[in-house]
Amino acid sequence: MFRCCLIPKCFKKKVGPDLQCPTCREQYTVESAGYGGRLKLVMKHENKNPIFTLFTESIQQLLESLNLCTDVRKTDETIEKLKAMLPIRVKFTFKSDKITTISKF
Protein backbone atom coordinates (compact mmCIF):
# COMPACT_ATOMS: atom_id res chain seq x y z
CA MET A 1 0.00 0.00 0.00
CA PHE A 2 1.17 3.53 -0.70
CA ARG A 3 -0.14 7.08 -0.54
CA CYS A 4 -1.17 8.44 -3.92
CA CYS A 5 -2.40 11.40 -5.95
CA LEU A 6 -6.16 11.70 -6.44
CA ILE A 7 -6.05 13.68 -9.71
CA PRO A 8 -7.51 11.35 -12.42
CA LYS A 9 -4.82 12.08 -15.04
CA CYS A 10 -2.13 10.93 -12.58
CA PHE A 11 -3.64 7.42 -12.30
CA LYS A 12 -2.99 7.16 -8.54
CA LYS A 13 0.70 8.02 -8.89
CA LYS A 14 2.66 7.46 -5.70
CA VAL A 15 3.34 10.71 -3.86
CA GLY A 16 6.76 11.43 -2.43
CA PRO A 17 7.74 11.60 1.25
CA ASP A 18 6.68 15.25 1.17
CA LEU A 19 3.19 14.08 0.00
CA GLN A 20 3.54 15.91 -3.32
CA CYS A 21 2.64 14.26 -6.62
CA PRO A 22 5.73 14.08 -8.87
CA THR A 23 3.52 14.39 -11.98
CA CYS A 24 1.10 17.25 -11.32
CA ARG A 25 2.79 18.73 -8.22
CA GLU A 26 -0.46 18.59 -6.20
CA GLN A 27 0.38 18.90 -2.51
CA TYR A 28 -1.40 16.62 -0.04
CA THR A 29 -1.57 16.20 3.71
CA VAL A 30 -1.65 12.94 5.64
CA GLU A 31 -5.43 13.33 5.82
CA SER A 32 -6.02 14.21 2.14
CA ALA A 33 -3.71 11.88 0.16
CA GLY A 34 -5.30 8.80 -1.37
CA TYR A 35 -4.31 5.17 -1.00
CA GLY A 36 -3.05 2.95 -3.76
CA GLY A 37 -1.73 -0.56 -4.02
CA ARG A 38 0.68 -2.66 -6.03
CA LEU A 39 0.74 -6.43 -6.31
CA LYS A 40 3.23 -8.65 -8.13
CA LEU A 41 1.48 -11.53 -9.83
CA VAL A 42 3.12 -14.60 -11.34
CA MET A 43 0.92 -16.16 -14.01
CA LYS A 44 1.19 -19.51 -15.67
CA HIS A 45 0.41 -18.79 -19.31
CA GLU A 46 1.30 -20.91 -22.32
CA ASN A 47 4.07 -22.80 -20.46
CA LYS A 48 5.64 -19.54 -19.31
CA ASN A 49 5.55 -17.79 -15.96
CA PRO A 50 5.50 -14.05 -16.68
CA ILE A 51 5.44 -11.64 -13.76
CA PHE A 52 2.96 -8.80 -13.89
CA THR A 53 2.47 -5.84 -11.63
CA LEU A 54 -1.11 -4.99 -10.81
CA PHE A 55 -1.99 -1.53 -9.58
CA THR A 56 -4.97 -0.27 -7.60
CA GLU A 57 -7.75 -0.55 -10.20
CA SER A 58 -6.77 -4.05 -11.31
CA ILE A 59 -6.26 -5.19 -7.73
CA GLN A 60 -9.75 -3.96 -6.86
CA GLN A 61 -11.24 -5.75 -9.91
CA LEU A 62 -9.59 -9.01 -8.87
CA LEU A 63 -10.62 -8.67 -5.22
CA GLU A 64 -14.23 -7.90 -6.21
CA SER A 65 -14.37 -10.99 -8.41
CA LEU A 66 -13.13 -13.05 -5.43
CA ASN A 67 -15.67 -11.42 -3.07
CA LEU A 68 -12.89 -9.97 -0.93
CA CYS A 69 -12.52 -6.56 0.67
CA THR A 70 -11.34 -3.96 -1.88
CA ASP A 71 -10.06 -1.46 0.68
CA VAL A 72 -6.30 -1.34 -0.05
CA ARG A 73 -5.71 -0.11 3.52
CA LYS A 74 -6.67 -3.57 4.85
CA THR A 75 -3.72 -5.31 3.25
CA ASP A 76 -2.78 -7.83 5.95
CA GLU A 77 -6.13 -9.62 6.18
CA THR A 78 -6.69 -9.46 2.41
CA ILE A 79 -3.27 -10.96 1.64
CA GLU A 80 -3.89 -13.80 4.08
CA LYS A 81 -7.22 -14.58 2.39
CA LEU A 82 -5.59 -14.43 -1.06
CA LYS A 83 -2.83 -16.84 0.03
CA ALA A 84 -5.44 -19.31 1.24
CA MET A 85 -7.09 -19.25 -2.22
CA LEU A 86 -3.93 -19.93 -4.24
CA PRO A 87 -3.68 -20.89 -7.02
CA ILE A 88 -6.33 -18.60 -8.46
CA ARG A 89 -7.44 -18.99 -12.08
CA VAL A 90 -8.00 -15.59 -13.67
CA LYS A 91 -9.04 -14.16 -17.00
CA PHE A 92 -7.51 -10.90 -18.14
CA THR A 93 -7.18 -8.54 -21.07
CA PHE A 94 -4.26 -6.47 -22.23
CA LYS A 95 -3.95 -2.99 -23.63
CA SER A 96 -0.41 -2.49 -24.93
CA ASP A 97 1.68 -4.32 -22.35
CA LYS A 98 -0.63 -3.66 -19.37
CA ILE A 99 -3.40 -5.70 -17.84
CA THR A 100 -6.56 -3.62 -18.10
CA THR A 101 -9.13 -6.03 -16.69
CA ILE A 102 -8.73 -9.06 -14.48
CA SER A 103 -11.19 -11.32 -12.71
CA LYS A 104 -11.63 -14.82 -11.35
CA PHE A 105 -12.09 -17.40 -14.10
pLDDT digit string, tens, across residues 71-88: 877 888 888 998 999 999
Residue 48 has pLDDT above 80, yes or no: yes
* Stretch 44-66: mean pLDDT: 88
Q: Which residues are CB-neighbours of 9 under 8 A, at least 6 positions away?
A: 23, 24
CA distances (Å), origin 22, targets 31, 38, 84, 87, 99? 18, 18, 37, 36, 24
What is the band of 26 on the pLDDT scale with cuts at 50, 70, 90? very high
Q: What is the pLDDT of residue 18?
A: 97
Residue 91 has pLDDT above 80, yes or no: yes
Q: Tell me which of 41 and 24 has the higher pLDDT.
A: 24
- Going by C-alpha positions, the residue among 103, 98, 1, 94 that lies closest to residue 54 is 98
36 contacts 80 by C-beta, under 8 angstroms: no
What is the band of 98 on the pLDDT scale with cuts at 50, 70, 90? confident
